[in-house]
Structure 1
Amino acid sequence: MNRTAKLFLLLAVFAAQSVTVNAQVKKYKCMVQMTNYMGEGAYIVISLVDSKGNYEKTLYVLGPDKKWYNSLKEWHKFYSKKPANISATTGASVSGGERSVNVIEIDEAKVNKGYTLRFESAVEDKNYNVKDLEIPLTTANLSAKTDGTGTGYIRYVRLIPN
């Protein structure tokens, strides 16, 4: 095989692998509807959690000011040990009665494998909720509405394939 053919074959292999990797990540619109609480805007972090309850990845952070990230206590322990550039997945905090719609990316290989989406929340001078809402990462839940616990700030979350 001549050098040009080998190069073409190598490029074809890399292109096929790239398509395979990209096909595994799917985007979802994630709408968070808040309860009608009084007070400051909530900081919420959406995390991918494994079947043992360990944080694996930060999917989105609602709350732009890093100085308040430590109020999301459990997530902040994970984030402090494995800091990641989350600037592209950070938006405004969300107040009582409001809703926020953001796009999150989920690795399809994690679906139906015991993973969970955890919504952790904190509001200044109010309660902190390590599990304000958790959604088992199943095919059915990735296009459904999930109600909050009733004790936190989130009324419900709706995921919509993008």
Structure 2
Amino acid sequence: MRKPLMTTLAAALAVALPSVAQARPMSMSIPLKNYGGDGAYLAVYVTDAKGAYVRTLWVAGGKAKYYKHLADWNRLSAADSKRLQGVTGASVGAGRTLKVTADLADALIDAGYEIRIDAAAEDMRDSPSEIRVPLTKAGAGKAHAGKQYIQSLTYQIQ
């Protein structure tokens, strides 16, 4: 009984380790405009070429009752029971900058995937898909403008 178990374990590790090695850190800088309201809730996530949810990178804002205001992310990620594991922090104040680092699989870069950010602030208008940026090497290091609350998104792929 031990040999088949060890063989299965070795095969599983051989398949899993290359995928771990093919991930790299991506750092993001997300300065907010000075919009004059309370702290903003932000959901930073990845979608595929068809707009289907892939993964949550970060959620700024800790009260789940407000996640409904991050409408696109909330709708797309609703079936992901792990969407908040290790990826939440405080809301971001007007005029402040959110800095986030997340591990990103190499296979997502230059393959039609997008980084999206939904934004909302208390007593102000929600901004689903505030930013939609193709996840490309060419887009790294460039400032991508937001619509309402976010001044820009700049990402670096290490």
TM-score (ref. length: structure 2): 0.86
Match of 1:3 in 2: none
Give yes or no for the alignment of 1:158 onto 2:154.
yes
Q: Secondary structure at the match of 1:93?
A: coil
Identify if the C-alpha distance between structure 1 residues 65 and 144 changes in structure 2 by more than 3 Å, giving closer, same or farther.
same
- Per residue, is there more helix in 1 or in 2? 1
Once residues 92 and 33 of structure 1 are traced to their aligned partners in structure 2, the CA distance between those partners, rounded to angstroms, is 15
Identify if the C-alpha distance between structure 1 residues 56 and 8 changes in structure 2 by more than 3 Å, giving closer, same or farther.
closer
Could you list the runs of 5+ residues in structure 1 that have no partner in the other structure?
Answer: 1-5
- Count the aligned residue pairs: 158
Q: Secondary structure at the match of 1:134?
A: strand
Match of 2:145 in 1: 148
Q: Secondary structure at the match of 2:143?
A: strand
Instruction: Calculate the aligned-residue CA RMSD, in Å.
Output: 2.4
Q: Cα deviations across residues 42-86 of structure 1 (Å, max 9, x unaligned)?
A: 111011111122222111111111111111112112232332251
Match of 1:122 in 2: 120
Identify if the C-alpha distance between structure 1 residues 82 and 13 changes in structure 2 by more than 3 Å, giving closer, same or farther.
closer
Question: Is the Cα–Cα contact under 8 Å of residues 145 and 156 in structure 1 kept in the other structure?
Answer: no
> 4+ residue runs of structure 1 moved beyond 6 angstroms?
6-12
Once residues 158 and 96 of structure 1 are traced to their aligned partners in structure 2, the CA distance between those partners, rounded to angstroms, is 18
Alignment of 1:32-47 (within 5 A): 32-47=30-45
Structure number, greater radius of gyration: 1
Identity of aligned pairs, percent?
28
Once residues 79 and 11 of structure 2 are traced to their aligned partners in structure 1, the CA distance between those partners, rounded to angstroms, is 36
Once residues 15 and 79 of structure 1 are traced to their aligned partners in structure 2, the CA distance between those partners, rounded to angstroms, is 29
Once residues 46 and 129 of structure 2 are traced to their aligned partners in structure 1, the CA distance between those partners, rounded to angstroms, is 12
| 1:18 Cα deviation after fit | 3.4
Question: Is the Cα–Cα contact under 8 Å of residues 132 and 148 in structure 1 kept in the other structure?
Answer: no
Could you list the runs of 5+ residues in structure 2 that have no partner in the other structure?
Answer: none
Aligned AA (1:154): I
Q: Cα deviations across residues 93-133 of structure 1 (Å, max 9, x unaligned)?
A: 11111001111221211111111000111111111111211
Match of 1:73 in 2: 71
Higher mean Cα deviation, 39-48 or 55-64?
A: 55-64
Aligned AA (1:148): A
Alignment of 1:66-145 (within 5 A): 66-141=64-139, 143-145=140-142
Q: Cα deviations across residues 120-162 of structure 1 (Å, max 9, x unaligned)?
A: 1111111111121111011122x3132323x311111121235
TM-score (ref. length: structure 1): 0.84
